[in-house]
Amino acid sequence: MSKSRKKVTKCSTNNIHCMDNVHTKSSDSTEFAIKASHLHKSFRLPTERAAGLKQAIFNWLKGVKGYTEQKVLDDVSFEIKKGEFVGIVGRNGSGKSTLLKILAQIYYPEQGSVEINGTLVPFIELGVGFNPELTGRENVYLNGALLGFSHKEMDAMYEEIVQFAELEPFMDAKLKNYSSGMQVRLAFSIAIRAKGDILILDEVLAVGDAAFQEKCNKYFSSLKGSKQTVILVTHSMDNVRQFCNRAILIEKGKIATEGNPETVAKAYEGLWD
Amino acid sequence: MVEVMGIPHILCRKNRILLGELVKTDFKLRYQGSVLGYLWAVLRPLLTFAILYIVFAKLLRMGNDIPHYPVYLLTGTVLWSFFTECTGQGIQAIVQRGDLLRKISFPKYIVVVSATATALINLAINLCVVVIFALINGVSLSWSWFVVPFLVLELYTLSLGISFLLGAINVKYRDVTSIWDVLIQALFYAIPIIYPLSMVLESSSFGLTAARIIMLNPIAQVIQDVRYNLITTETITAWEILPGSLQMVPILLVFLVLALAALFFRKRSKRFAEEV
């Protein structure tokens, strides 16, 4: 049992890293962008913490494990086609962020595999790597490097980023002196320059003022219009209805409903009633 | 083709960009907010050296039999502070960059290498200071100076190995940082940095055995070899004191640590994002 399980894990690991080699695999007329099959993931939750060495040895002798396995994803499979705008919804703790992190290759699934066709740019959070002690300018280049842009490429984009963020006078000030709104504007301006075959967005809409929200909405509309493959995790059913071609509702680590955005949004809203 | 966390990654363009930018950031941030800034990279080992020199060379009158003893001492302290800085930063790297690991996917070793790179830059600056001091002190130029980079490479390899190994454990058990702090104190006295090895040799009847055990340590071997090639051939090296069969032990130890560390780090790194 344990042997066969090990084999599956290994296979998934290989798949995950062969991002660019998957192109030939699909023979369907509509090419897939992401294929997730039978994903399992659980986390260990500590229950009984050993207060000291004595207790730890005691627990070990008695066979108390000190944690329980919490199943976060339980046999999740789906396929996302190229050009689709897919919304992933679910309540807090339903496992959607874990799923996203597995798709972004940050977490590894215990079982199952993810096949990715093309380059993938994940935005689990805006402004990853932003350092308060660096200036706005330095942070732009650092964040760019984390997204895979060289210094030269960032040079070409720099003016545009600063203009879009409306932060021209502040670029040589340290980030710690920015307001949180300014930080988000800067991060977002860099993010929308990142071009990948697949974009993964985790609740990036949840921040900023009304004007910023407006900018986000325009950005999403443009993504939808340009047939960009997007996976969006959100709590806003308005966004699901407005932008998504398809949606997936996750509940207790399983896919509860999948398909038409309207149906899924209704199902999500029905979770409380 | 499987290329998981392997060497091919370092050649990949995206990883090179990332490594370069992280090194730049670390270096910029290191002396952030200090008036003297980068000057501290040179000042710190020089001041440490000054203390050790006053205490050990002047008050305790050690090293009278060694030519150019002040530079000899400085070489030792510079290499030692490189080792402590390198491992100190390297072990902390994964935990300190936890925010990155949790949000984007990239080979984790980049974080460790970037954290140790600053120490390597500092060492380069400090070795320039050593060379200037050596020339002032009347040490003559020699072809054997070209051996020094290879010895530095050996020491850096060892530091990287220790950083990977202990850094990976440190993610789950933060005790490692504290244990390493104490261990490094003990290690300092187990290496002939402030005392000359000849003192151990002459100390008692089993002085030779003690000196041999000391010289099995790759750090001691590197420091003595650098002194031999850079300052004075009157340095006692591992090659001179160890019997033939044991001469390769220090270098083998370095590779053993690195191999173990690479295997362990590779295995553990898959879970760093969850555990850090």
Is A115 buried (19+), middle (13-18) or exposed (0-12) by CB count in 10 A?
buried
Nearest to B272 by CA among B110, B87, B88, B29: B110
Digit-coded pLDDT (tens) for A92-118: 888 888 898 899 888 999 899 999 888
* CB hemisphere CA count around B204 (13 angstroms): 3
CB atoms within 10 A of CB A173: 14
Return the percentage of chain A with pLDDT > 90, whole number.
24
Question: For chain B, percent helix, then strand, then coil, each to nearest 5?
Answer: 75, 0, 25
Give the one of A17, A108, A124 whose C-beta lies nearest to B103's C-beta: A124
Chain B contact present for A142, CB below 8 A: yes
Contacts of B37 in chain A (CB under 8 A): none
A-interface mutation test, from B104, B266, B267, B274, most A Cβ less than 10 A away: B104
Chain B contact present for A106, CB below 8 A: yes
- State which amino acid sits at residue A72: V
Residues of chain B with pLDDT under 50: 1-7
Q: Which residues pair with A250 in a beta bridge?
A: A255
Digit-coded pLDDT (tens) for B172-182: 888 999 999 99
A-interface mutation test, from B5, B12, B18, B21, most A Cβ less than 10 A away: B21
Instruction: Based on DSSP, count helices (H) and strands (E) in chain A, helices before strands.
Output: 9, 9
Digit-coded pLDDT (tens) for B208-217: 999 999 999 9
Reply yes or no on whether the pLDDT at A26 is more than 80: no
- What pLDDT score does B9 carry? 55
DSSP string covering A102-154: HHTTSS--SEEEEEE-S-EEEESSTTTT--TTSBHHHHHHHHHHHTT--HHHH
Is A215 buried (19+), middle (13-18) or exposed (0-12) by CB count in 10 A?
middle
Question: For the whole model, what pTM was predicted?
Answer: 0.84
Contacts of A19 in chain B (CB under 8 A): none
Give the one of B25, B104, B106 whose C-beta lies nearest to A142's C-beta: B25
Nearest to B117 by CA among B19, B261, B6: B19
> Does residue A64 contact residue A228 with C-beta atoms inside 8 Å?
no
Reply yes or no on whether the pLDDT at A51 is more than 70: no
CA A177/CA A142 separation, integer angstroms = 18
Give the one of A18, A128, A133 whose C-beta lies nearest to B104's C-beta: A128
A residues 26-55 lying closer than 8 A (beta carbon) to B: 43
Torsion angle of the four alpha carbons B28, B25, B166, B82, in this order, in degrees rounded to the nearest 10: -30
Long-range pairs for B246-250 at CB < 8 Å and ≥24 separation? B246/B212, B246/B216, B249/B216, B250/B215, B250/B216, B250/B217, B250/B218, B250/B220, B250/B221, B250/B222
CA A216/CA A207 separation, integer angstroms = 10
Beta carbons of A122 and B105 less than 8 Å apart: yes
